[in-house]
Structure 1
Amino acid sequence: MTRRTAVFGAIVVLVTAGVTAYALSAIAENDRRTSTATAATTTSLAQIEKGPRILFRHTGRDADYGHVGAVALAAPDGARALTDRSCDRVHAQEESISCLATERGVVSRYRATDLATSTPGKPWREVDGTDLPGLPSRTRISPDGKLVASTVFVNGDSYMVSGFSTRTLIRRIGGASYGDLERFTLVVDGRRVAPVDRNIWGITFADDGRTFYATVATGGRTFLARGDLTERSLTTIADHVECPSLSPDGTRIAFKEAGEDGTLWTPAVLDLATGRRTVLAGETHSVDDQIEWLDDDTLLYGLAREDESVSDVWALDTSTAATPRVLIPEASSPAVVR
């Protein structure tokens, strides 16, 4: 064998090894997103409601698709309870549930329904609700269970050449509505403004009954804004923040950060006191969801499987080296009830 032949053979071995390693890595990553994990057996709602739990929207390809389900917080991949309540988005606190749903017909209607869960194991009771002006997108209930926010997609705004804009409302459950948040006083970069193209979405509540956080978009920019229900105001405090979610200890905001081309969203965490951002690059797929906190160090979000109508709830620690993992198969729209 000549020296040239030997070198060529070595190169072939190295290239083949590299291609094989890449292929195996790609297969493993594809398997991570096309998981065939299925939901565990079912149990009664009374059993699940005995303790802390996670509510979610069931996405299994069966007769219960779209129905609200629940699992024990201690066993999220264990037996689940499935209800007869169908929702596009769901959120919950100890005694309150918000359900945004599409009522399909010749002309589809959209509805926000508030439910009470004061008696564990008993059917959820409707206590309030309102018609929605567009397709359900996001909902959140305040920590005390007294306030509820809903965001929908609408079309027809004069400044939109194509696509959708948003409408976001905050209501007191069983009480008055604060109306469309676009009517609130808006302060951007320290200056009071009134742009016609403003869009507001992704509400998350503090625990004082008046403070909330939201995404505000205007002029091609997105901001994190602090809202005040008493003052009926929104004041921007950071930029490039979408769908905020306040941590249980009230010190950090989890959100999705858009990439340069605006087509990939990566989970990230913002420290409210220091302004320090941590981008969680361990999640390499686009997270188009409003993140939920499992605890002070773990985030939850829904991700669709490739080429399937099924999605799963994934968990991701807030350390930069963390790797995502499936927490609840066949689920979306998680809400932690402690």
Structure 2
Amino acid sequence: MNRSKKWLALALISVLVLGAAIAYGITAYTSYQARSAEPSEVRTTTTSVTSTDPHITFRNTATGEGYGKVATVPLDTPSAARALSDQACDRVYATGAVLSCLQIKRGVPTTFAASVFDRAGSELASWPLPGIPSRTRLSADSSLVATTSFVTGHSYAITGFSTETVVSHVDGESYGNLEDFALWIDGERLTTADRNIWGVTFGSDDRTFYATAASGGRTWLVLGDLAERTLTAIADNAECPSLSPDGTRVAYKKRSGAAETPHWGIAVLTLATHEEVVLPEPKNVDDQVEWMNDETVLYGLARDGAAGDSDVWSIAADGASAPSLLIEHAWSPSVVNE
């Protein structure tokens, strides 16, 4: 192929890629608008939950007015009518003081962003994300925020996926991409190009955190240190951890079954003894678990045959009972106790 033909082929490919991107943006925007155009299929209220009362904040996935908006229900009556805010988020997490909101800004082109809001709804900070939002968490004192995005362009991710996870102070100072931290597995530093970090959950000292590390088809629960910029593996086969309110246990996704038909369940690890309990959830879980209290965990499950819709379920952290539906048409829950 001569040079002119190569340039022509490149131009044609560029046109096709641009056309596909434009088509995706238009389709995504149209679909989102259609879901939001009709009356909501759930009970809603204009009366907001008092911010000092315990409540659950989540993304509303009920079709109709308010689809994709941040919603709240009282912690003691999660079946109550949900209070809808004006803020749209694709992933959300809240404390008593601030709210982290990850957004897919649908349009031409589609872009991605993270924002932090105070209790009154005023934006404190905002920055672009490099790809589709995946996970976000805030520290208990509301000073730190973690975001995870799916990214493209890494050669090793042709048959898998790649992430970028960043921890920042809410006021803007960033610790950077956690892939730049030293990752230690069984006493040896892992420097392979395919390592990925995601799913941060914070300890109580604004220094310690837990996360997922992955490389070569394996995943680990890692203990992170923001001051030392280190990640140290403490358990195998764990993803998307969440630290219990009392700081003694970590819940996470755990893979079981054959390689061709894996099952992603939920396990709870006691940190002091390394005793692990696998919870009796028969469905595949693709979420970062949230603790409702020291006895119960919450998580989202996609609705079968209903793209873009999901429910929040609860299950006992000791595995003593079956899961139960907690909030219909909901996603990305966070429990706010103050």
Which bracket does the TM-score occupy, shorter chain normalised? 0.7 to 0.9
Residue 78 of structure 2 is aligned with which of 76, 88, 95? 76
Report the Cα distance in structure 2 between the residues aligned to 1:54 and 1:142, rounded to whole angstroms.
Answer: 16
Contact 2:98 2:142 in 1 (8 A): yes
- Residue number in structure 1 paired with 2:316: 317
Report the AA paired with residue 305 of structure 1. R
Contact 1:48 1:71 in 2 (8 A): no
Report the Cα distance in structure 1 between the residues aligned to 2:147 and 2:126, rounded to whole angstroms.
Answer: 11
The reply on whether 1:233 has 2:230 as its aligned counterpart is yes
- Residue number in structure 2 paired with 1:293: 291
Report the AA paired with residue 300 of structure 2. G
C-alpha displacement at 1:43, in angstroms? 4.0
Report the Cα distance in structure 1 between the residues aligned to 2:254 and 2:42, rounded to whole angstroms.
Answer: 30
Report the Cα distance in structure 2 between the residues aligned to 1:52 and 1:252, rounded to whole angstroms.
Answer: 22
Report the Cα distance in structure 1 between the residues aligned to 2:278 and 2:62, rounded to whole angstroms.
Answer: 31
Contact 2:44 2:84 in 1 (8 A): no
C-alpha displacement at 1:323, in angstroms? 1.1
Report the Cα distance in structure 1 between the residues aligned to 2:218 and 2:110, rounded to whole angstroms.
Answer: 32
C-alpha change, 1:263 and 1:62, in structure 2 (3 Å) is farther
Report the AA paired with residue 191 of structure 1. E
Classify the secondary structure of the residue corresponding to 1:159.
helix
Classify the secondary structure of the residue corresponding to 2:179.
helix
Residue 61 of structure 1 is aligned with which of 52, 60, 63? 63
- Runs (4+) of structure 1 moved beyond 4 Å? none
C-alpha displacement at 1:306, in angstroms? 1.1
Contact 1:48 1:81 in 2 (8 A): no
Report the Cα distance in structure 2 between the residues aligned to 1:280 and 1:219, rounded to whole angstroms.
Answer: 27
Contact 1:300 1:316 in 2 (8 A): yes
Classify the secondary structure of the residue corresponding to 2:319.
coil
C-alpha change, 1:160 and 1:41, in structure 2 (3 Å) is closer
Structure 2: stretches of 5+ with no match in the other structure: 1-40
Residue 200 of structure 2 is aligned with which of 183, 203, 212? 203
C-alpha displacement at 1:161, in angstroms? 2.5
C-alpha change, 1:162 and 1:243, in structure 2 (3 Å) is same
Residue 223 of structure 1 is aligned with which of 215, 220, 243? 220
- Residue number in structure 1 paired with 2:239: 242
C-alpha displacement at 1:76, in angstroms? 0.9
- Residue number in structure 2 paired with 1:213: 210
Classify the secondary structure of the residue corresponding to 1:196.
coil
Classify the secondary structure of the residue corresponding to 1:54.
strand
Contact 1:155 1:163 in 2 (8 A): no
Contact 2:91 2:332 in 1 (8 A): yes
Contact 1:268 1:280 in 2 (8 A): yes
CA RMSD of aligned residues (A): 1.3
Contact 2:51 2:96 in 1 (8 A): no
Report the Cα distance in structure 2 between the residues aligned to 1:290 and 1:253, rounded to whole angstroms.
Answer: 11
- Residue number in structure 1 paired with 2:98: 96
Report the Cα distance in structure 2 between the residues aligned to 1:96 and 1:116, rounded to whole angstroms.
Answer: 4
Report the Cα distance in structure 2 between the residues aligned to 1:327 and 1:97, rounded to whole angstroms.
Answer: 22
Alignment TM-score, normalising by the size of structure 1 = 0.85
Q: Percent same amino acid at aligned positions?
A: 50
- Residue number in structure 2 paired with 1:331: 330
Report the Cα distance in structure 1 between the residues aligned to 2:43 and 2:282, rounded to whole angstroms.
Answer: 27
Classify the secondary structure of the residue corresponding to 1:257.
strand
Report the Cα distance in structure 2 between the residues aligned to 1:167 and 1:107, rounded to whole angstroms.
Answer: 21
Report the AA paired with residue 279 of structure 2. L
C-alpha change, 1:50 and 1:44, in structure 2 (3 Å) is farther
Per-residue deviation, residues 9-40 of structure 1 (Å, max 9, x unmatched): xxxxxxxxxxxxxxxxxxxxxxxxxxxxx633
Classify the secondary structure of the residue corresponding to 2:156.
coil
Structure 1: stretches of 5+ with no match in the other structure: 1-37
Report the Cα distance in structure 2 between the residues aligned to 1:270 and 1:71, rounded to whole angstroms.
Answer: 29
Contact 1:39 1:77 in 2 (8 A): no
Report the Cα distance in structure 2 between the residues aligned to 1:59 and 1:158, rounded to whole angstroms.
Answer: 34
Residue 40 of structure 1 is aligned with which of 22, 38, 43? 43
Contact 2:52 2:96 in 1 (8 A): no
Report the AA paired with residue 154 of structure 1. V
| Greater gyration radius | 1
Per-residue deviation, residues 290-337 of structure 1 (Å, max 9, x unmatched): 000000010100112210132111010123231111111111100000
Contact 1:93 1:145 in 2 (8 A): yes
Instruction: Count residues with an aligned counterpart.
Output: 294
- Residue number in structure 1 paired with 2:301: 303
C-alpha displacement at 1:50, in angstroms? 4.2
